[in-house]
Amino acid sequence: MEKSSRDRLVEAGLEVLGREGGARFSVRSTEGEAGLPHGSVRHHFGGLDGLVDAMVQHLLRAEMEHALTRPRETLHDWLGPNRTRTQARYELMIQGFRTPRLRDALVAARERVITDVATDAGLPRDRAAVLVAALDGLVLDALLRGESEVRPGAIEMLGANRVEGPIPQRT
């Protein structure tokens, strides 16, 4: 099934943002990446802010589908096949420092991930919060170093290896 123009723009925006960074991210670069005509972002999202909001929501849905109850699998995904998307997430987090609505959306999503990790892994909420933050730090460190995996033994040092295993089904 062919993706809608709206979906193509969101995915193209994440690709450009992750690959080029915030300084080179623009409506035109996104439309060009998506292979869509000038004006497509305005038509579908009302402008750059609407596109960024849609990109954040798209990322947050993807993160919620793959909560951090399997840290090795998540880290492999974030540093491997979805590396550019991961880089886009960090770019959006940086923008969140200066954009309250973006910050609020990212913080709310992070709180949901922490709650899911605590519930799914049977961890106290404060421990789940530390695990989420630590995994984020390991990913950022690996990205900065240009590595495709976190430092050996890092997950075991966190005690996150006890979180591994099947994700319980929610009812």
CATH 1.10.10.60 in the chain, residues?
Answer: 1-53
Closest CA to 61 of 53, 69, 73: 53
Q: What pLDDT was estimated at residue 118?
A: 87
Query: H or E element: which one contains 138?
Result: helix 125-145
CB atoms within 10 A of CB 97: 9
| CATH superfamily, region 1-53 | Homeodomain-like (1.10.10.60)
Tell me: the pLDDT tens digits for 81-100?
989 999 999 999 999 999 99
Q: What pLDDT was estimated at residue 96?
A: 93
pTM of the model: 0.82
* Locus of tokens 């961890």: 123
